[in-house]
Amino acid sequence: MANLPKEPSIAEAPEVLQAANSAPLRTLPPRTPQRRNLASLALAFLDATLIYVAFGLAYWLRYQVRWPAPFNQIIQEVLTINSVPFDNFLPYVGLLIGVLLALFTMKGVYRLPRNASLLDHLGPIISASTTGIALVVLFTIVQRPLYSRLIFAFAWVNIILLIGIARAVLVNVQRWRWTHGVGRERVLVVGGTGLGRQVMDSIVAQAFLGYSLVGYLEDRDPPRSEQRNGHFRYLGVVQQLEHVLQSQAVNLVVIALPFWEHHRLPEIVRLCRAAQIEFRVVPDLFELSFDRVNVMNLSGIPLIGLKELSLKGWNLVLKRALDLSLIALASPVLLPLLGLIAWAITRDSPGPAIFKQNRIGRGGRPFTVYKFRTMVVDAEERKAELTQYNEADGPIFKMRNDPRLTRLGGFLRRTSLDELPQLWNVLRDEMSLVGPRPQLPAEVAQYEDWHYRRLEVKPGLTGLWQVLGRSDISFDEMVRLDIYYAENWSPGMDLRILLETIPAVLSGKGAY
C-alpha cells in the first residue's frame, strides 16, 4: 500500500471541494472494450518479456555463476550439465510463458480494477506462477532431459520478483498521476440524496482512487438555493441524463438512487449502454439490516435471504489457532517493546502505564479492555466538556488534537502502539487479532437495529475499516465493513488485513 499525500477533510475545508470540482483535469477518453483489450494485451506482453528475462537470469545464476557452488559440484560428479546452451531451454521458456499467461488470464490478473492495490496484483501472480512452474517441471520429468531443474526454482523466484516490482511501479506511478490530476476517470453521480452525497464525498476527498467528479443528477428537482450553495456541481434531474451524457465528457456513471427510485434503473442503464458509457450501481443498504444476501432459485424465482456468518463452527477454532500461533511467533519482539513503552509512559506523565476500560464484546457481553494510557488520568471526567467537538458521526467520539492527550500519547495513537496490551485480551479469548473494534457500552446503546450484527463475532485489534480508512470513514461504512468481514472470513483475509495494517499504521492516515 503506497504512502499517499493526505487528502483534505470534507468537514474542514468545503471550499477545497468546490475548487476540486471546477479544477481542470487531464482525464481519460471513454473506455471501450477495444481500449481495455489493448491495455490487457500490453500488460500481457510486458509479463511475457519479464518471464523471458527472469528465465535468462535463472540460467545465468545456474550455469554462469554456478550458484550454489557446493550443489553444483555434486551435480557435476553425476551429470555433465555445465555445457548446456540456453537455446536448449527455449522450448521450455516458450511453454512457461504460454502456461503463465493462460493462468494469469484465468485468475483475473488482466481484469483487475484500475485502482487495485499491489496486494490485489501479487496474490494471483504468486499463485499462478507456482502452479505454472510446477506444471513445466512435471513436463520436464516426463521428457527426462538431463538438465538441472534447480533453474526452474530460480526462475520461479525471479518471475515473482520482476513482475511484482513491475506491478509496484505501475501502481505507484498510476496513483501519483491520479493524485496530480492526470488520467482520472470523469464520474457522473445519479442521485443527490444521502447515498449519492457519500459517493461524491469519497470521490472528491480521495483523489488517489483515480476519479474526478463531473457533477450529479438529482432524483428530484431541488430548490434554487440548494443548487447554488451545494459543494458539488448540480447538472439537473435524472430525466436529463441523456442530454448530460451528450454534453459532458463522462467515463463512468455511478447510480446512487434511494431504494424508492429503483424503478428508474432500467431506463438509466439503457441510456448508458446506448452512449457506450460504463455504469455502476450503489446498493442502498441504509434501509436493510444486512450487507450481504444469499440468493436461491425456485423454478426461476429468486429467493433472497440473509447470508450466514463464515465465523462459526470449525472456522472459529481455526481462527483461534491462527491468533495464538502469530502471538507466539511475535512474542520475542513484542515483550521487550511492551516493557519499553510502559516505562516511557510512566516517565512522560504521572499515572499508570495501562488504561482499563469496559467495552462490549461478542454477543453484547461486557469485558475489560487493556490499552497503554495515552491521555491524562482524568480524561474520562473531561470527556463531557468536549462532546461538542466530536468529529465522528454515529455513536462514537473522535476528535483531532484532543487536549487530553499526553506528549507520548499522540505518537502512540498515530502508530496504534497503544493497542498492544489488548494482546492479553486475545490470550484471554475476549478478542481476536482481526475483527470489529470493541466499543463502549454508551456507544452500543445508540446502535440502530442492523448495527448489532457486528457484535456476532469477537472484536479485534485491527480490521477492514482500520486498513481502509481508520477514523476517516463514516460509522455506517465501518459497520458494513465489519459485517462483510464476518460473512466472508477466511485465514487468507486475516493475514492480508494484518499485512495491510502495517503500511496503514506507518502512514498515520486517519489516526487520531
Closest CA to 166 of 49, 38, 71: 49
DSSP letter at 288 equals S
Report percent pLDDT > 90 for the chain: 19
Cα–Cα distance, 333 to 168 (Å, whole number)? 29
More confident of the two residues 82 and 507: 507
pTM of the model: 0.49
Give the cell for residue 350: 504521572
pLDDT at 28 over 80: no
pLDDT of amino acid 191: 84
pLDDT at 358 over 80: yes
Going by pLDDT thresholds of 50, 70 and 90, the confidence category of residue 228 is very low
Let me know if 398 is exposed, middle or buried by CB neighbors in 10 A (0-12, 13-18, 19+).
Answer: middle
Average pLDDT score over residue span 339-362 = 89
Count CA atoms within 13 Å of residue 192 on its CB side: 20
pLDDT, tens only, 74-98: 444 444 445 677 788 888 899 999 9
Cα–Cα distance, 156 to 151 (Å, whole number)? 9
pLDDT at 511 over 70: no
Q: Which residues contact 301 (CB under 8 A, 6 or more apart)?
A: none
pLDDT of amino acid 116: 81
Going by pLDDT thresholds of 50, 70 and 90, the confidence category of residue 273 is confident
Phi, psi (deg, nearest 5) at residue 25:
-125, 145
Cα–Cα distance, 211 to 335 (Å, whole number)? 44
More confident of the two residues 456 and 227: 456
Q: Which residues contact 316 (CB under 8 A, 6 or more apart)?
A: none
pLDDT, tens only, 368-410: 999 998 888 776 766 666 665 665 555 666 666 677 788 888 8
Going by pLDDT thresholds of 50, 70 and 90, the confidence category of residue 359 is very high
Residues 221 and 193 sit within 8 Å (Cβ to Cβ): no
Rg (CA), the chain: 27
pLDDT of amino acid 162: 95
Sequence letter at residue 484: Y
To the nearest whole number, what is the mean pLDDT of the chain?
77
pLDDT at 29 over 60: no
More confident of the two residues 196 and 253: 253
Cα–Cα distance, 242 to 237 (Å, whole number)? 11
Report percent pLDDT > 70 for the chain: 74
State the chain's maximal CA–CA distance in angstroms: 89
> Which of the residue ranges 40-54, 109-123, 191-205 has the most confident prediction, judged by mean pLDDT?
40-54
pLDDT of amino acid 23: 39
Cα–Cα distance, 197 to 310 (Å, whole number)? 32
Cα–Cα distance, 39 to 47 (Å, whole number)? 12
Label each residue of 286-317 as H, E or C: CCCCCCCEEEEEECCEEEEEECCCCCCCHHHH
Average pLDDT score over residue span 327-354 = 90
Cα–Cα distance, 168 to 186 (Å, whole number)? 25
Cα–Cα distance, 190 to 177 (Å, whole number)? 26
CA distance readout (Å), 451 to 195, 348, 431, 460:
18, 38, 19, 17
pLDDT at 324 over 90: yes
Cα–Cα distance, 49 to 495 (Å, whole number)? 31
Domains of the chain and CATH, by start:
14-22+183-284 (3.40.50.720), 33-177 (no CATH), 314-507 (no CATH)
> Which of the residue ranges 258-272, 304-318, 325-339, 404-418 has the most confident prediction, judged by mean pLDDT?
325-339
Give the cell for residue 281: 450501481
pLDDT of amino acid 10: 33
pLDDT of amino acid 6: 37
pLDDT at 437 over 70: yes
* Three-class secondary structure of residue 83 per DSSP: coil
pLDDT, tens only, 442-471: 888 888 877 888 888 899 998 887 776 555
> Which of the residue ranges 36-40, 197-201, 278-282, 357-361 has the most confident prediction, judged by mean pLDDT?
357-361
More confident of the two residues 163 and 221: 163
